[in-house]
Amino acid sequence: MIDASGGARAFYEGGRAANARIVDRLEGRSRAVGTARLAAVALALGLVGVVLWGHASWPWAVIALLVAVFVVLVVVHANIEQAKARAQAAARFHARGLARLDLDWGQLPTASERFRAASHPFTSDLDVFGRASLMQLTDATDTDLGERRLAGLLSLEDPEGWPEAVSARQRAVRDLAGRPAFREAFATAAGVLSDERPDPSGLIAWTEAEVGALPPFVSAAAWALPLVALGAFVLAEGRVLTETIALAIAVGVIVVGALFGLGLTPMLEIVSARQAAATRWRAMLAAIENESFEAPLLRDLRERLAGGGASASAEMAALARIVGFVDARRNEVFRFIIGPLLMWDVHCARALLRWRARSGRRVRGWLDALGEVEALASLAAFAFEHPEFTWPSLAAEPCFEAEMLGHPLLPEAARVGNDVDLPAAGLALVVTGSNMSGKSTLLRAMGVNAVLANAGAPVCAKTFRVGPLRVATSMRVEDSLAQGVSHFYAELARLKSVIDRAKEAKETSRAAVFFLLDEVLHGTNSRERVLGASAVVRELLSLGALGAVSTHDLGITALERELGGRVTNVHLEEHVDGDKMTFDYVLRPGIVQTSNALRLMKAVGIDVPLVGANETP
């Protein structure tokens, strides 16, 4: 096992190199065993030729030995391939860890785009899903269950159970962050399933259906009819029956077996290995069962896998064995002749129904626990990869206080930390600044870190104190030609939804709304923009919300004086040295004193006069 004491990068680089060497070694063994198998087959065929054309009997013993050797080599080859698949999965685990450290988005899963919803209060504005997103940065899952649970944690609209539930997740994430060996083994078990993330909903629906049973005559026929067919052939061999009659009896049994199988096919297909990879998750379940966790949440999840009878991994292994027999039907000769003759489908169905009666009602809980652990392990990998991040202090009342707050999606070299102080509900920051000075990035950093805190993860800050908050944003507003919605009307609808959430929070005494509004009402004239934006901020604060609003309109800064300390003006600015313009992205108190729109127009090649370009806007 690779030592993690040298840091995340050393752990991942060492693990990737070690597993790559294992894969190379196993590939060499696989080729050697494959060659030996071909040699055994070729030699056996040659000896068959000796028997046929040489009329010698001695080669039969050698042929039997070669057949035995071939069977052993098949088993050995299968074991080598399984070991190689595990090593390849482990190498992928380490490679993805390095990609997350390097923010190499092209090497990371991108399927989280499907979790986006235009109506969600913040995920689109805060880059929670899609390419170069918070999900990509934290996603170390390999199953659909884990991916969905992680997406749910990163899109919580309300931190229910605050602070107990968040604290429990935080303790679990911290526990898992210190268990890189478990996370590697867990991910390796998941990674050998397949490149896809199969949906187990069909299997879960089957396990939770009414148990039922096969009609007694079907069960009896499953044992009696194959014996009848066998007896007919025995009697034909003894000249009691003709071969024609024996064959007719066998065909009749095959027809009956095929008819029984037609009725059972839907159930057998639901649990077949091609449609329900959940049966192959037993290694992941076993990894959870065998780990001695310290965090109460993880211990509770582990206990969920053991309660009510045999362990989850043992029962899933039993289901996998049954499914293995079911999948024998994939061979056409077996499916249409041998299977019906042996009443194979009936026997498989009886075994499945017995298994469902015994364990079916527990499957959803098992898979939910598996998904929860995998999601928490993903957040633990994020914590492991960013030891410089801090664990939030959870306050009982709404607040947002951070020292050296940064945006986790930015490279560390480009990240600038700022202090943000909103110690109670009903407070707001008005952020002014010139173009490209970092206003939107500041607001997104505030929102993303609030999301991470609600999920139970560490945050990108030196210190961080937060209370129960419901994040709501209005930043990237899109119009809709198809629905006849203008950009301005779409923004009004978005602002209305933020206000409605604040009203709901106040009426139900739930977590306060944490609003982040970027360039409010920039689709209308300056006078109406100032009046409208000021009215929005006043109403949100009156409803007990807290947050920040960015703007170019200095008229909004009058709220600081008007609301007596409930609003604080802060700003970001650019620095001009000759023709060169730079930004330090440092948050400063007060109102911005410069603007740079004309200089930026000049920089991109639009010829405009620069008179007054660096004056107070």
Contact present, 534 and 554 (Cβ < 8 Å): no
Inform me whether the pLDDT recorded for 337 exceeds 90.
Answer: no
Inform me whether the pLDDT recorded for 509 exceeds 90.
Answer: no
Tell me the HSE value of 18 on the side-chain side, using a 13 A CA sphere.
14
Of 112-121, 225-234, 383-392, 601-610, which range is least confident? 601-610
Q: Which two tokens stand for residue 271?
A: 């649990």
Contact present, 449 and 460 (Cβ < 8 Å): yes
pTM of the model: 0.85
Inform me whether the pLDDT recorded for 4 exceeds 60.
Answer: no
Instruction: Look at 66 and 610; give whichever has higher pLDDT.
Output: 66
Can you give the residue ranges of every domain in the chain? 1-98, 201-374, 393-603
- At 556-600, the pLDDT tens digits run 899 999 998 899 999 898 776 656 667 788 999 998 776 544 444
Closest listed residue to residue 570, CA positions, set 580, 578, 560, 584? 560
Percent of the chain with pLDDT strictly greater than 70: 87
Sheet containing 463-466, strands listed edge to edge, beginning at the edge strand earlier in sequence: 393-394, 463-466, 400-405, 418-422
Inform me whether the pLDDT recorded for 310 exceeds 50.
Answer: yes
Of 43-47, 55-59, 362-366, which range is least confident? 55-59
Of 7-11, 133-137, 355-359, which range is least confident? 355-359
Of 373-387, 395-409, 510-524, which range is least confident? 510-524
> What is the arithmetic mean of pLDDT over 17-26?
94
Closest listed residue to residue 558, CA positions, set 569, 544, 549? 569
- At 156-200, the pLDDT tens digits run 998 888 999 999 999 999 999 999 999 999 988 887 655 567 778
Closest listed residue to residue 470, CA positions, set 502, 503, 517? 502
Inform me whether the pLDDT recorded for 610 exceeds 70.
Answer: no
What mean pLDDT is reported for the chain?
85
3-state class (DSSP) for residue 116:
coil
Q: How far is residue 278's CA from residue 430's CA, in Å, rounded to a whole number?
A: 51
**Residue matched to tokens 């007919």:** 232
Inform me whether the pLDDT recorded for 39 exceeds 60.
Answer: yes
> What is the arithmetic mean of pLDDT over 477-491?
59
Closest listed residue to residue 478, CA positions, set 486, 470, 466, 468? 486
Class of domain 393-603: alpha beta
Q: How far is residue 99's CA from residue 615's CA, in Å, rounded to a whole number?
A: 44
